[in-house]
Structure 1
Amino acid sequence: SSLADAAGARSLNEIVAAVQARLGEADAVEAFDRKLVAHGYAPLPDYDEPRFVVSDVRSYRVGDGFPRLMRSQLPPGIANVAYDIRLETIAPYECDEAAIFGED
């Protein structure tokens, strides 16, 4: 058995749904959804797999300078892309979870 089969394993779509539920207020969910779309996320069936076990939660501000690929900037003909981000390179973008969820 693998971690992806573990009871607590969740897909990207499930994790997004959990964040939406945690935000609660319709305005906050709509703002979150707009940000997801702006960064190229859509709840596609492809994001139902793989499944992940969340062992630690960190929050990052994704903006200028953050290593990312944006769908709108990919040349025509690129259909599928996968990449890894080294956590040490995004450490400067880490922020308090309250900045994301608006908690006090």
Structure 2
Amino acid sequence: LTSPSAAQRFESLLVQAGYLPNQRDLYDHDRYTLRRSEFWTVGEDFPRIIEAELPPGVGNCTYTIDVSALTAHSVTAETL
């Protein structure tokens, strides 16, 4: 950071976000637990947006897929 006040502000924001400098060693490793894995086949009937099918003027789209609607596409890891 370019100035002491910017560095101080940055440190303050880190503490507000829950980062504690005196516990820095706790942040050296990833800390997550994989609870489950799910797999789906993505075929013609999988819910999706296809760029070639978008009308002119539509772009930069985002969407969410409801996982509960994917049961028909579910597969096991062994079948992959």
TM-score normalised to the size of structure 2?
0.51
Identify unmatched segments of 5+ residues in structure 2: 1-16, 19-29
Q: 1:78 to 1:8 in 2, by over 3 A?
A: farther
Tell me how large the CA RMSD over aligned residues is. 2.7
Segments of 4+ moved more than 4 angstroms: none
Q: Output the CA distance in 2 between the equivalents of 1:71 and 1:79.
A: 8
Correspondence for 2:40: 60
Rate the CA distance shift 1:96–1:73 in 2: closer, same or farther, 3 A. Answer: same
Number of aligned residue pairs: 53
Partner Cα distance (1:54, 1:75) in 2: 39
Deviations 1:24-58 (A, max 9, x none): xxxxxxxxxxxxxxxxxxxxxxxxxxxxx965321
- Matched residue, 1:76: 56
Give the number of the structure whose alpha-carbon radius of gyration is greater.
2
Query: Unpaired segments of 5 or more residues in structure 1?
Result: 10-52
Show CA shifts across 1:70-102 (max 9, x none): 1121122222111111111111100011222xx
Shift of 1:8: 5.8
Match of 1:85 in 2: 65
**What is the TM-score with the length of structure 1 in the denominator?**
0.41
Identical aligned residues as a percent: 23
